[in-house]
């Protein structure tokens, strides 16, 4: 009797190891393959607005380029653009992929959301591709991320490390480090799953508009004095 039971146990184990686990793996793998294009499409479909701000007779032209995945960096870039314009500049705010004619500008600001410990690849590409042009004018950068939701020396160091690949190409007159926004409903399935269940970052809009505006105002003064 005992022998028969242990034979049954072994048969169940064999069935699980030989069929069930590979089947589960296959199902998960297929689900990821099916979801990846949808995830890529969701990011590609997001509207990436361009805006311009200026006061009368402004001759100092600034380009603010941004890269985003869920949209919160767009409003940060626009807020920075508005403040710089109120200080007397003519400011164009554009997605980094639409940036052109850098020769038209006297300063450039690069802005990026952070994903998986890095600035978005289109910003790094932009810095690399245009470094000759960008090294001739003042350049600043800002990042929008969630690690700074807890202000500690360790987290500030981590945030500073995110922009290091950009600093390999360019030196910045200033760098802004801002907390961002996390809204699971704006993420594709895979990103929402990772951030919710693996990383565990809670939802919330932690953008500190006062800090963003103050940084932009101070940057405007620095750029004028350059
Ligand atoms: C999949 C994923 C990965 C993220 N990785 C990081 C990270 O490594 N470090 C960090 O500080 N924030 C991280 N964040 C938080 C985002 O940087 C933050 O939500 C930011 O506001 C997103 O900007 P966006 O809305 O313009 O895309 C991550 C968010 C998601 C969804």
- Residue to mutate (ligand 1; options 64, 77, 113; most atoms within 8 A of CB): 113
Report the alpha-carbon distance of residue 169 to residue 43 in Å, rounded: 27
Overall size of the chain counted in residues: 226
What mean pLDDT value characterizes the chain? 90
For 39-69, write each residue's pLDDT tens digit: 554 555 789 999 999 987 888 999 999 999 9
Domain ranges of the chain: 1-45, 51-224
Containing H/E element for 114?
strand 107-115
Predicted local distance difference test score (pLDDT) of residue 94: 98
Give, as one character, the DSSP assignment of residue 67: E
CATH superfamily of 51-224: Flavodoxin domain (3.40.50.360)
Question: Would you state the structure tokens that stand for residue 3, as one six-digit string?
Answer: 């022998």
Predicted local distance difference test score (pLDDT) of residue 42: 53
How close is the Cα of 87 to the center of ligand 1, in Å?
30
How close is the Cα of 154 to the center of ligand 1, in Å?
18
What is the pTM assigned to this prediction? 0.84
Predicted local distance difference test score (pLDDT) of residue 11: 67
Ligand 1 site residues (CB inside 6 A) read 68-73, 113-117, 144-147, 180-182, 187, 191, 194-195
pLDDT at 8 over 90: no
For 169-203, write each residue's pLDDT tens digit: 999 999 999 999 999 999 999 999 999 999 999 99
For 93-151, write each residue's pLDDT tens digit: 999 999 999 999 999 999 999 999 999 999 999 999 999 999 999 999 999 999 999 99
């Amino acid at each position: 009797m005992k022998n028969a039971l242990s034979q049954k146990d072994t048969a169940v184990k064999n069935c699980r190891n030989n069929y069930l686990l590979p089947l589960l793996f296959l199902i998960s793998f297929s689900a990821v393959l099916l979801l990846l294009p949808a995830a890529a499409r969701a990011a590609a479909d997001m509207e990436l607005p361009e805006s311009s701000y200026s006061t009368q007779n402004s001759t100092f032209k600034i380009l603010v380029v941004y890269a985003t995945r869920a949209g919160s960096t767009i409003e940060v870039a626009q807020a920075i653009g508005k403040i710089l314009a109120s200080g007397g500049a003519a400011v164009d705010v554009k997605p980094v992929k639409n940036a052109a004619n850098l020769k038209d500008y006297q300063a450039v600001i690069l802005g990026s959301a952070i994903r998986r410990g890095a600035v978005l690849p289109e910003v790094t590409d932009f810095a690399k591709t245009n470094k000759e042009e960008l090294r001739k004018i003042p350049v600043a950068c800002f990042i929008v991320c969630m690690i700074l939701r807890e202000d500690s020396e360790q987290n500030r160091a981590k945030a500073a490390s995110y922009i290091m690949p950009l600093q390999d190409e360019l030196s910045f007159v200033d760098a802004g480090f801002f907390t961002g926004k996390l809204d699971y409903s704006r993420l594709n399935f895979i990103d929402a799953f990772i951030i919710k269940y693996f990383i565990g970052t809670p939802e919330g809009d932690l953008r500190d508009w006062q800090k963003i505006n103050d940084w932009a105002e101070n940057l405007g003064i620095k750029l004028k004095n350059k």
